[in-house]
Amino acid sequence: MASVAPAPSTELAPLPILYRDDTLVAINKPSGLLVHRSPIDKHETRFAIQQLRDQIGQRVYPVHRLDKPTSGVLLFALDSDTARQVSQHWHRAQKCYVAVVRGYAPEQVLIDHPLRYEPDRYGDADKSSCPVQAAQTEVKRLACFELGAAVERYPTSRYSLVQCQPKTGRKHQIRRHLKHISHPIIGDAKHGKGIHNRYFAEHLQAPRLLLAATQLQFAHPNGGHTVCVDAPLTDCFAELLRRFGWCNALPPQWLPDHASG
C-alpha cells in the first residue's frame, strides 16, 4: 500500500525578538511579511502585528512600518500611550539599512533629492497634486563584487553592498534615491532593473528585495535613554554575503547567525 506524504505544516515560525522590555518589543521582520492588513495586498493572510500578538500573548501597536519586501528591525509598543509617545519623536530616530545595488556605488555620497509623494497602487492621492518634499539619504559603499556573467551587454556585471541612512522619512525614499543615482536595489520590482532582478532570482537564488533595516536607535519614552537595536541579515541575503565575500564588510551584529543578547 502506497504511503501518503504528510500535509505541509501551516504553523508559522516564531518572529525573532531582538529587544523587549515592559513597554516595547522589536522583531527582525522577514522579507515578504506585511506589517498589518493593507489594500495593497488584499489576499495576504499573514501580518506581523497579528503574528507577534499571538506569539507573546498580548496586543502590540506598530510604531513605524517597513515595506512588505524589506526585512529588518520593526518596533512595536505594548500599549497605545507608549506608541503615541515614541511616534511623536520618531523623526529623531536614527535608522540604518543595508542594500545590494547594481554597479559600483560612490564611496560616500549624500543624496539630496526632493521626492513627490508616491501613492499606493490603489491610489490614496492624485500623484500630480502631491507636493514635492525635501529628502536626504546618506549612502556609503561597504564592498563591491564583479560577477563573471554578462547580465547586460558587458562581459561581467558589477554590484555593491551599501549602507544607507535616511535623514528624512519619505515613502520608498531609499529605493527611489538609489534609482536616482543609477544604482537601483536588486530585487526592486518598481524602481530597479528587471534583467538584474531575474538573474539574482534564477541564478543566485535571491528572489527578494535586497534591502534590510539593520539598526534602529531611538530615545526610550521612559527615561529618554538611547536604545540601539540591531538585526542580523537572514535568508538569501545572508547567503549572498558569503558568496560575494562581503561578511568582513559588516559589523558582527549584522552578520548571519549572530546571537542577540
Which positions are annotated as active-site residues? 67
For 83, 86, 118, 229, the CA distances from 90, given in Å and listed in that order, are: 10, 6, 21, 15
Strand 226-230 relative to strand 108-112: parallel, antiparallel, unpaired? unpaired
Interatomic CA distance for residues 50 and 58, integer angstroms: 10
Interatomic CA distance for residues 99 and 200, integer angstroms: 14
Residue 38 three-state SS: coil
Q: Where are the alpha helices (DSSP H) in the chain?
A: 48-56, 80-88, 173-180, 194-203, 235-244
Q: Considering only CA atoms, give the Rg of the chain.
A: 19
Interatomic CA distance for residues 26 and 231, integer angstroms: 10
